[in-house]
Structure 1
């Protein structure tokens, strides 16, 4: 369905992109799911990012109406691109072609005629679009009803914007003007969208099938697939990549005037004797795959369920690699709503993935499949191989010169991008400082009428990047501005500050024994891995600053590198082996290993090029870690600070992190007897949760705030011993658990309290919230990501429901093996009012009382 946009939307879309928006993509924040409602940025015709040499045409009327003048809202040359000959009705010989240099997700197009200051009056009444991903196979765009013709302009100067529904994934796009009678036409154009970071160029799958449900014909075919369709679909993309997730009721659709089942591609178990549907995904290059998200229908009352298992094979050269990976989501026979199932792909390197999805019921239906990945470091090609666009050549052109010129353009483009990134980083730092000061003021001073008017004024002048990237409705803008708009703001600030009156000073709060919630009074250490290890009260940090480090210098030559666990902006985390570590430890600490056996340790190493602030933070982190003495907190064993690179050596448990450990196990029971998968008892799970609560009880007694409590940050030793750590954020394996919100650090939003996301408040009470999620993960055996049925944007939206407190917020469901008292404890951790959440002492006591 095509629709025209309002003048305000037009002005917003034709503006050059704000640097922070560009940085969102340039800094490699890979998001595996695109949304047509968000992905609507001008791609560079009007802004100049698309170079002249990347714009070509079938012909031109004169040099002054060449293809390079076909830029929206530009008046250079004679004011537009004009073909050499008059366009005839239904003629598709003339076209204006744009090369985007890489695959893009294109959701919107804009067109304009030739005005040229009043001397021109040529425009295209209609046009068609063709696109290509490789420069050789061209595809005609059709809307969801199969219509190809797009209504164009009615005069020479107005900009007409049209949504592409469905959107297209392409590198090359051609605008082909049409008329209903012979006339001269000229065009200026723009494309809107964002880079296609999935890198998926095609998927091959069986054709969707036809269902008859209670006399209703439901067509579950991929109606917008742009490849070849026979008994199967090959070499194309379609509804599984159009950014539109299906509704809970598969007979309904987001799109009007379409048939039942339109949103889904579905298959019947009876048509597949092997009980599985195989889909092959081809990518633009070798990539490092983190996760796959599959949006599934789960209307089990109608014999539709999500897949019970998926087995994925990877190919990086010619053959499929063995062994494949297998994943079994937790089946849900209670909630019939559709949901995203997140499948971990464990950082496999491949340019093709073949997945076999096994039926759990009569029907299986998918509406979206997306991937999160990083391009392989050794493959830095800027465009897919063998995808140079067909270009018209003139006599005397030198092909060799063209190749050299292309390489020069690439080099210049890289240099410009680097400069742009540096400038954008400076802008982000300045913006964050301003935003932080605004938060501090909001936490220190009561609001009055003057401040309210000032805030309103600034809102009108501001073009919020948060609002543009995540348009979640009028209530979801930049968090600090969102809160100030709402009438219950004062009440929320009082609750967050732990007071029922006007905000009190930090000293007053401390005297009353209430932790002060203002982030201004917290020292946030950057951490070697780019995370905040612990948020430490400023008073505590002052006390620590005058003390020496109580850890010995360790000879770095005794460290034997095993593997890199992760990395961040300022350093790396390595898994190392050490012999004779016991000789360097004090009497208070002992290893639960044979003294003659080497010990595994985690080594945080600061990069030599780290700045002064990072170096100071690293030394402060050592100072803090050296003071933490608890059996359930990772212990600092030694340091290497006499020479660069600076290192801190901490415990590493032999069974790795809790997330990976539990995901390899099944709960003990009858079904587990039929499997070779190792099992774990509920009593063991309960004991591990109790240990986590004990460690957090210790941290909270020091008023330390962890900020990233999750199973990925808990290590497992012998006999289910648990120790809380902090470097899960640095691991690529868990990149899908973190989310970037406009210039702020990446945040684990699925574990965060609503006040942490919306107000920026990180407190012991927010750690309690995260503990509730961690407890849920543990009893789910980490088979599913929290809120897996929600997208990241929907998770943020759900926090708004907690804020409004109208009983519409969603909670994590009760795990199958979770007793009622333990689920009640979880729910208490997620109470809206932070003061009503239990303390870690209470949590620990409750878990002890409920011990099996």
Structure 2
């Protein structure tokens, strides 16, 4: 049922970093509860019809109580029970029982092997990390035995093959555990990993030891292995997460000079079907002290069908190299929604060695006949591994033309309909309508279809930069907007009536505030002091926007320049790091005015948990504003590199945080947002990526996460215009363009969720962007089918209840930031 699919999606939301976390991907796949149908369970033989494969269901006593192969099982026999899971699955656990049959049976398998196949044709034998293929089975007929698969496997078909040393009768009941493999990746090819023999350190074997494809001519072909096993490598590549394995086990690594003079590693990825790719995530080591760095750049080519050639246009991405932080990290590579069934990427070396531990993809499923992109729940759960036939170019061209014509007709209809609705609403909505009243035009029956909601999003999302139905991107005046735009004219807390553009000129989010009269801003309107720009020493580019950039710089002599009462902490003689937002020379006059407007906004902020504007450089071009920057970087990166404090983390010197630290961070963010709310400021992009952290774990809320390439996959681009952090946005912000303090409260709830998952995964990580938008429609319809984020294991129940209140469908039901602060503060030791 549809409800069952939604519940399953909720369970799937426990995936950790990358695609899947094996520690949480342990859900029963449907043998016991009959989601796996009888027709999908077959066997090489059966003793009687009443011991057929359909009776091999764990904890059930149907038929004669289990599957039993025909006759006595001999040591040389290869009888098997086969299960078709219906789609590619990340399989982590196998459970078995014998035949008990209400105390009338006593047959069981003492051991068994596992074979698996992704296509039903090519079968592979599972082996554990030490190369053993036989798993321990049962010791009696009734107790179930659970075996974790180390490594886990990605498969659709599974065969359990009982093993015996003596001639005996065996019977089996089975349950399989795991979760759907949403990546769709069915194989990757790469050069073989190599040995690293550093002087004074153990030899590191950086091979893909669990690869299940072909090893030929020093390359890996047609299989999957450690890059898709959900195990991420540690900062020190010699330290492994597995026991009794060799140093370097968690990484696949290559030495630059061993691959000739090409200076790159070429990998090819093949998928189950044609997909529309959003991004590629690569977990890479960065221990530069030993000659290991993340890749300097990557270029990817795309093939729409396996029998087609590679498309000439590639996607290139240049990484920001980090010579200060040796932590391993995920690098997200935007793939610009390119459509392909196969991808070839070249990763270029930045140093002597390059090491990967995980690779994952974010994508939606495409229907190749019409070249339109869909990713509905039906597509997600009825995956097929077959390709559509290639009938030549003519049907494709005809399909494209028909599609374009239909889209033009639909767009014209929607424009005319929106204009009509706006005119009607201006006539029928009284000026004193309550601000919490729902927008009438979304109650039209056409919006009951999730696909319509998704297709309307580009039109509706323009209201993030203007009003819900109005045109243009200028800042609306509160006293001049229509009743539909304003609801009532004296409601200053509704930022939808006075929005500055969602993206600032540097690509960062600019706080939305009540309308400022800044048309004639000059230097005298700016209270921040002019800093000598020659004393700003560039360190790295943090990000960029259409007309500006954000740089990390050292500011020489800044404490002395700011004088007594400087907001800067004691630096112990070290240089001061600052973030410098700089306007490009080619910026338009409007961008220049917006930049000065942003300076005026920032100069009004003075709170210990909000990033401060320190000084400016506006006496000459390029215009610059200098803000605080915390030495521990952003909270997302800080937490993702840590584990929760425990005896194990202390014993192994693993970077950790305590539950008290997490609560303290939550209180500080609520305090900073309480301050913004008191000024009627709306942030609109609250997330851990926009919270900076100093060495004392003091948090300051910032606004330039949007400009950083590192977090580009957190934003959804609308028709090439604004980018929206839809996974953090309230339903009314996505569908109506309504940004208020209440929508910031929603984002605060998601930020709390990030904190208590230690930022180990993206919110709704197993939902595509399109599915997140469809889920937004479920919040609007409010029929109980909306999907919520799961409760993080570290999160106290009372705190998760607070998160759920932040995600209340009705705006008045959400707490205020004052209430959130008062609720969180008692949890922290003062």
TM-score normalized by the length of structure 2: 0.54
Match of 2:229 among 219, 242, 248: 242
Distance 1:688 1:196, change over 3 A: farther
Q: What CA deviation, in whole Å up to 9, does each residue of 1:347-376 have, x standing for no partner?
A: 222222211111111000000011112222
Residues 617-628 of structure 1: pairs in structure 2 closer than 5 A: 622-623=485-486
Distance 1:104 1:699, change over 3 A: farther
1:171-190 correspondence runs (5 A): 171-190=156-175
Alignment match, 2:545: 662
Find out whether 1:91 has 2:77 as its counterpart: yes
* Residue pair 1:577, 1:601 contacting (<8 A) in 2 also: no
Deviations 1:719-761 (A, max 9, x none): 9999xxxxxxxxxxxxxx9xxxxxxxxxxxxx99954999999
Secondary structure of the residue aligned to 2:756 is helix
**Equivalent residue number for residue 284 of structure 1:** 272
Q: What corresponds to 1:796 in structure 2?
A: 756
Residues 234, 762 of structure 1: CA spacing in aligned structure 2 closer, same or farther, 3 A cutoff?
A: same
Q: Which moved more, 1:285-294 or 1:18-27?
A: 18-27
1:545 aligns with 2:530: no
- Secondary structure in structure 1 of the residue aligned to 2:336: strand
What are the within-5 Å matches in structure 2 for residues 432-581 of structure 1?
545=433, 571-574=456-459
Q: Do the aligned residues in 2 keep the contact of 1:576 with 1:602 (CA within 8 Å)?
A: no
Q: Is the 8 A contact 1:43 1:50 kept in 2?
A: yes
Whether contact under 8 Å (1:32, 1:373) holds in the other structure is: no
In the other structure, the counterpart of 2:62 is 76
Q: Which residue of 2 aligns with 1:348?
A: 338
Query: Any residues of structure 2 matched to 1:377-392 within 5 Å, and which?
Result: 380=379, 382-386=382-386
1:312 aligns with 2:300: yes
CA displacement at 1:252 relative to structure 2: 1.4
Aligned ranges for residues 394-433 of structure 1 at < 5 Å? none
1:1-31 CA-partner distances (Å, limit 9, x unpaired):
xxxxxxxxxxxxxxxx998741426999999
Matched-pair contact (CA < 8 Å) for 1:44–1:50: yes
* 1:629–1:369 Cα change, 3 Å: same
Distance 2:435 2:118 in 1: 61
Assess if the C-alpha contact under 8 Å between 2:431 and 2:487 holds in 1. no
Residue of structure 2 in register with 1:778 after alignment: 704
Distance 1:602 1:57 in 2: 68
- Indicate how the Cα distance of structure 1 residues 772 and 192 shifts in structure 2: closer, same or farther if over 3 A, else same: closer
Query: Does the CA-based 8 Å contact 1:135-1:387 persist in structure 2?
Result: no
CA pair 577-75 structure 1, distance change in 2 beyond 3 A: closer
TM-score by length of 1: 0.53
CA distance in 1, matches of 2:233, 2:583: 36
Tell me: CA distance 1:699–1:141, structure 2 relative to 1, closer, same or farther (3 Å). Answer: same
Cα distance in structure 2, aligned partners of 1:222 and 1:73: 37
**C-alpha distance 545-679 of structure 1, shift in aligned 2 (>3 A):** closer
Is the Cα contact below 8 Å between 2:332 and 2:713 reproduced in 1?
no
Cα offsets for 1:675-704 (capped at 9, x unmatched): xxx995599999978745766999999xxx
Do the aligned residues in 2 keep the contact of 1:124 with 1:187 (CA within 8 Å)?
yes
CA deviation profile, 1:513-535 (whole Å, cap 9, x unmatched): xxxxxxxxxxxxxxxxxxxxxxx
CA contact (8 A) 1:544 1:623 kept: no
CA distance in 2, matches of 1:191, 1:178: 19
2-structure distance, mates of 1:834, 1:265: 46
Aligned CA distance change for structure 1 residues 195 and 764 (closer, same or farther; 3 Å): farther
Q: What displacement does 1:88 show?
A: 1.0
Q: 1:300 aligns with which of 284, 288, 297?
A: 288
Q: Is the 8 A contact 2:273 2:386 kept in 1?
A: no
The CA deviation at 1:219 is 0.3
How far is the alpha carbon of 1:308 from its aligned partner? 1.1
Distance 2:323 2:501 in 1: 41
Does the 8 Å contact 1:576/1:600 carry over to 2? no
Q: What is the alpha-carbon distance in structure 1 between the residues aligned to residue 188 and residue 208 of structure 2?
A: 12
Summarize the Cα distance change of 1:240–1:155 in structure 2 as closer, same or farther, 3 Å threshold.
same
CA distance in 1 between partners of 2:475 and 2:338 (Å): 23
Contact 1:777 1:786 in 2 (8 A): no
Match of 1:105 in 2: 90
Q: Distance in 1 between matches of 2:273 and 2:287?
A: 37
Matched residue, 1:523: none
Paired residue for 1:368? 358
Structure 1 residue ranges without an equivalent (≥5): 1-16, 389-541, 554-565, 586-597, 604-618, 638-649, 671-677, 702-718, 723-736, 738-750, 805-829, 838-852
With over 3 angstroms needed to count, the CA separation of the structure-2 counterparts of 1:266 and 1:688, relative to structure 1, is: farther
- Superposed, 1:715-730 pairs within 5 Å as none
For residue 841 of structure 1, what is the aligned residue in structure 2?
none
User: How do residues 807-846 of structure 1 correspond to structure 2 at under 5 angstroms?
Assistant: none
Find the aligned partners of 2:675 and 2:584 in 1 and give their Cα distance. 30
Q: 1:23 to 1:203 in 2, by over 3 A?
A: closer
1:580-635 C-alpha deviation (Å, 9 max, x unpaired): x9xx99xxxxxxxxxxxx967999xxxxxxxxxxxxxxx998335976899x9776
What secondary structure does 2:94 align onto?
Answer: strand
Q: Select 1:60's aligned residue among 46, 71, 83.
A: 46
**Hey, what does 2:762 align to over in structure 1?**
none
Q: CA deviation at 1:385?
A: 3.8
Do the aligned partners of residues 361 and 687 (structure 1) sit closer, same or farther apart at CA in structure 2, a change above 3 Å counting? farther
Aligned to 2:21: 35
2:6 is the alignment partner of 1:46: no
Q: What is the Cα deviation at residue 241 of structure 1?
A: 0.3
Deviation at 1:776, TM superposition (A): 5.6
| 2:653 alignment counterpart | none
Mapped to 2, the partners of 1:689 and 1:322 lie a distance apart of: 39
Question: CA RMSD for the aligned pairs?
Answer: 5.5
- 2 CA distance for matches of 1:328 and 1:664? 19
Q: Which runs of 5+ in 2 are unaligned?
A: 389-429, 442-450, 477-481, 510-542, 554-580, 608-621, 626-639, 641-661, 693-699, 715-750, 760-791, 797-816, 825-830
Tell me how far 1:162 sits from its aligned partner.
0.4
Q: CA-to-partner distance for each residue in 1:273-302, whole Å, 9 max, x for gaps?
A: 111111111111112222221111111111
